[in-house]
């Protein structure tokens, strides 16, 4: 049996191909676009081709994420809360709290000892606590996202970013630059601001182990910023961008 999971996120589409025993056969990612279903299908067909398979070999496809309902060739859709929880438990069975920061939303998912979702909090109304905030500061500083973490590590005095809206925060960043603030201090300040919004959303009840997933977990420095505001160790799961797609594939396999 071969199954597939698709995570049609707001900034990228991810796909994972899996056998019936839960072994990942392949995975791939592409930037999100207008034709979301076509992008997802291209990923799946590419992964199948690498295995010498075709779409007729797929037993089931589960879609999740922001654009899951647009992926019409999926057999069913499942919420990203459920898929991230399942994907994290696959690679980190002891996880009790999941921090997931994507391009347009962020989540705190609380699990019990069996990996069942007990509660979750989501910020999907303001981009100030998401990867979009990092994209805004990267664009303003004319840097690539991959450069932000290294730059923030050089900061000696992180800037205080007080705005709770990414639009106003960009204006605040422009003001800081005009006042002579160092780029590294601005980036460190933005990372801290994202982490603090996450902490406020999570509240005081955070059970360990805490794991970090989602595309923003790939940005160096973010794990440390989140760990600092939560005052707890935070572990980044392997290949955090694919957690949702792998969780969807596991559910497609009935695992």
183 CB-contact burial (10 Å; exposed 0-12 / middle 13-18 / buried 19+): buried
pLDDT tens-digit map of 174-218: 888 889 999 999 999 989 888 888 888 887 778 999 999 998 898
Asked if 126 and 63 sit in the same domain, the reply is no
Q: Residue 50: which CATH number?
A: 3.30.420.40
Q: Which two tokens stand for residue 234?
A: 């935070």
Residue 214 neighbours by CB distance under 10 Å: 27
For residue 141, what pLDDT is reported? 86
Provide the pairing of β-strand 76-77 with 58-64: parallel
Maximum C-alpha span of the chain: 61
> Is residue 244 within 8 Å of residue 14, measured between CB atoms?
yes
Asked if 158 and 100 sit in the same domain, the reply is yes
> Is residue 1 within 8 Å of residue 56, measured between CB atoms?
no
Asked if 71 and 131 sit in the same domain, the reply is no
For residue 161, what pLDDT is reported? 83
Q: Cα separation of 148 and 153, whole Å?
A: 9
Asked if 26 and 60 sit in the same domain, the reply is yes
Asked if 187 and 74 sit in the same domain, the reply is no
> Of 11, 12, 59, 23, which is closest to residue 250 (Cα–Cα)?
23
For residue 134, what pLDDT is reported? 84
Asked if 170 and 219 sit in the same domain, the reply is yes
Asked if 182 and 221 sit in the same domain, the reply is yes
For residue 129, what pLDDT is reported? 65
Count of domains in the chain?
2
Name the stretches of the chain with pLDDT < 70: 124-129, 163-167
> Of 38, 101, 32, 106, which is closest to residue 72 (Cα–Cα)?
38
| Local structure of 106: helix, strand or coil | strand
Domain encompassing residue 181: 95-236
Q: Which residues of 136-161 are buried (b: 16+ CB within 10 A; e: fewer)?
A: bbbeebeeebebbbebbeebeebbeb
Asked if 69 and 137 sit in the same domain, the reply is no
């Amino acid at each position: 049996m071969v199954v597939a999971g698709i995570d049609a996120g707001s900034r990228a589409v991810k796909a994972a191909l899996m056998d019936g025993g839960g072994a990942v056969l392949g995975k791939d990612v592409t930037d999100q676009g207008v034709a979301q279903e076509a992008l997802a299908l291209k990923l799946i067909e590419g992964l199948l081709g690498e295995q010498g398979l075709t779409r007729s070999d797929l037993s089931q496809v589960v879609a999740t994420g922001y654009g899951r309902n647009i992926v019409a060739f999926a057999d069913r859709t499942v919420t990203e809360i459920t898929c991230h929880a399942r994907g994290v438990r696959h690679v980190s069975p002891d996880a009790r709290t999941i921090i997931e920061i994507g391009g347009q939303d962020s989540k705190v998912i609380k699990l019990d000892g069996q990996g069942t979702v007990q509660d979750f909090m989501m910020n999907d109304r303001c981009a100030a606590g998401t990867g979009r905030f990092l994209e805004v500061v990267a664009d303003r500083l004319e840097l690539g996202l991959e450069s932000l973490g290294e730059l923030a590590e050089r900061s000696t005095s992180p800037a205080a970013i007080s705005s709770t809206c990414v639009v106003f925060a960009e204006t605040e960043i422009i003001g800081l630059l005009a006042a002579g603030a160092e780029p590294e201090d601005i980036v460190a300040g933005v990372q801290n601001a994202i982490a603090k919004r996450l902490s406020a959303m999570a509240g005081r009840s955070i059970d360990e182990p805490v794991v970090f997933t989602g595309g923003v977990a790939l940005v160096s420095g973010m794990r440390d910023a989140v760990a600092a505001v939560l005052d707890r160790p935070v572990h980044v799961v392997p290949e955090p961008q694919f957690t949702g797609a792998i969780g969807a594939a596991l559910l497609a396999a009935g695992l």
